[in-house]
Amino acid sequence: MIYSYIRVSSDAQTVKHQRYEIQRYCVLHRLLIDDTIEIEISSRKDTRARRIDELLEKLKADDIIVVTELSRLGRNTGEVINIIDMILKKGVELRILKQNLTIKENDPMQKMMVTMLSMFSEFERDMISQRTKEALKGLKDSGVKLGKPTGVIQKSIFDKDKEKIVELLELGLSYKKIVDKHLGYGSQSTLYTYVKKRDLLKI
């Protein structure tokens, strides 16, 4: 089996970009993806919420996983290395497109390279975060009002399943059961906030 794993925090365009990169790679290397796990969720969430655990449970020896870059697997170096170790112990091959890496076995040199690349990605992410915070502080100090305009409702990962969510709530299902059994993404608290902000129970 060949799996692709796509994860983004919020930007739908990034989903399309990752999907395109993986499709292009597969065409060039004559691979056919059997199953794709695609989720919009922060890397700060645990591996279960990010469906990493689900992917690991499916894996069997000689399977292949394709991801666009190391940061899709985890937020920090330690987590990335741990997930890769679990993948390799199952005899699975991991292909990371941005870093042009194919990891087939628990090779010390490969592990060192992955560690260095992951640390660089983490450092780069922290630097971007720091620059963003400094820029926002500068705008705030200059009197610029930050945040979304009053009354604007932001898009949500739950929008595509809005009618389904309403039906399940009307049937008396709990938020936890809806998330765990029927949606397979999100969390109990985020779903509750979504329903409350949109007054879905009044529809």
The reply to whether 175 and 88 lie within a common domain is no
Evaluate if residue 13 carries a pLDDT over 60: no
Coil, strand, or helix at residue 37? strand
- Residue-wise pLDDT for 124-167, tens only, equals 555 556 666 667 777 677 776 666 555 556 788 888 888 889 98
| pLDDT value of residue 119 | 65
**In the chain, how many domains are there?**
2
**CB-based contact 31:41 (threshold 8 Å):** no
Write out the DSSP string of 91-160: T-EEEETTTTEEE-S--HHHHHHHHHHHHHHHHHHHHHHHHHHHHHHHHHHTTPPPSPPTTPPPP-TTGG
Q: For 64, how many CA atoms within 13 A lie in the half-sphere containing its CB?
A: 14
Alpha carbons 49 and 39: distance in angstroms, whole number: 9
The reply to whether 163 and 113 lie within a common domain is no
Higher-pLDDT residue of 197, 92: 92
Last residue of a domain, one of 120, 147, 167: 120
Parent domain of 57:
2-120
Q: For 136, how many CA atoms within 13 A lie in the half-sphere containing its CB?
A: 8
Alpha carbons 203 and 201: distance in angstroms, whole number: 6
